[in-house]
Amino acid sequence: MADNQNQNQNQLQIQLRPEVADGKYSNLAMIGHGPNEFLMDFIFAAPGMPQAPVVSRIVMSPENAKQLMFALTDNIKKFEAQFGEIKPRTPKGGMIGNN
């Protein structure tokens, strides 16, 4: 019983604010890094438009970026097990870039 109470006290309560809940659509990402952080710019590139705005920038520590990589890998495996293989529509590197 005491263990359950400690677990409940240590659980992080996640808050999703209404202005964030709708999310932002991105079809391009640029990733950069320095010794202490990773920067991920999520971009919406509309067909035929000469400019593509950054819709969100996320800055993470290297450790958190690696945890994100593991979480994405795990979730992609689960998605593909349920819905089938995700096949890239563009040449490799066409949608996600490194800078």
pLDDT tens digits, 49-62 = 999 999 999 999 99
Question: Kindly report the CA angle at 19 between 56 and 32, in degrees rounded to 5?
Answer: 15
Domain for residue 80, yes or no? yes
Domain for residue 10, yes or no? no
Question: In this prediction, what percent of the chain has a pLDDT beyond 70?
Answer: 82
Domain span at 61: 26-98
Domain for residue 44, yes or no? yes
- In total, how many domains does the chain have? 1
Q: What is the average per-residue pLDDT within 12-31?
A: 95
Overall pTM > 0.85: no
Using alpha carbons, select from 29, 37, 33, 34 the residue that is nearest to residue 55: 29
Question: Kindly report the CA angle at 80 between 46 and 15, in degrees rounded to 5?
Answer: 65
Q: What is the pLDDT of residues 53-93, one digit of tens each?
A: 999 999 999 999 999 999 999 999 999 999 999 998 865 44
N residues, the chain: 99
**28-33, strands of its sheet edge to edge:** 54-60, 38-43, 28-33, 96-98
